[in-house]
Structure 1
Amino acid sequence: MASRISLKAKGKNSKGSKGKEDRTISESVKEWSTWALRKAKVITHYGFIPLVIIVGMNSDPKPQISQLLSPV
């Protein structure tokens, strides 16, 4: 079985790629919503624990940081 060599051009200037004027509104909305959800996922992942600590430090009976981080 012989291997095949592909001679397709890669990059932005290939003939098969769509230009900005060929994109529909739904494709643009899908791209932006995917981008926004990925960013929100990263922000939520790295920001949740610090948010809980900040809210806990500003609560009425002022706990120490060790009380907030201990599991008991």
Structure 2
Amino acid sequence: MASRVVVKGKGKGGKERRLAEERPSSTAKCVKEWSTWTLKKAKVAVHYGFIPLIIIIGMNSDPKPQLYQLLSPV
């Protein structure tokens, strides 16, 4: 006769806990999606806007350098 091995999960409230984790409230889901979308857009804006920002700040400082002086490594 073959014996069956039954493996039980660890922890309490297995099925009920999993259901609660799988379905977050619609408000929480909306906030999470919105914040993710906002952070992705902010990352792109910072990525492409950092060097132009430095150039603009450099051109508005005293003494006022020319554009080629800001871009040259010397």
Range into which the TM-score falls when normalised by the shorter chain: 0.5 to 0.7
Tell me, in whole angstroms, the C-alpha distance in 2 between the residues paired with 1:71 and 1:34.
37
**TM-score normalised according to structure 2 size:** 0.63
Question: Once the two structures are superposed, what CA deviation does each residue of 1:30-55 show, in whole Å capped at 9, x if it has no partner?
Answer: 00000000100110111111110001
Q: What is the aligned partner in structure 2 of residue 9 from structure 1?
A: none
How many residue pairs match? The answer is 51
1:26 matched to 2:28: yes
More helix by share: 2
Moved over 6 A (4+): none
Identity among equivalent pairs (%)? 72
Output the aligned Cα RMSD. 1.5
Structure 2 alignment gaps of length 5 or more: 1-24
Tell me, in whole angstroms, the C-alpha distance in 1 between the residues paired with 2:52 and 2:59.
10
Deviation at 1:71, TM superposition (A): 1.6
Q: What is the aligned partner in structure 2 of residue 57 from structure 1?
A: 59
Larger Rg belongs to: 2
1:69 matched to 2:71: yes
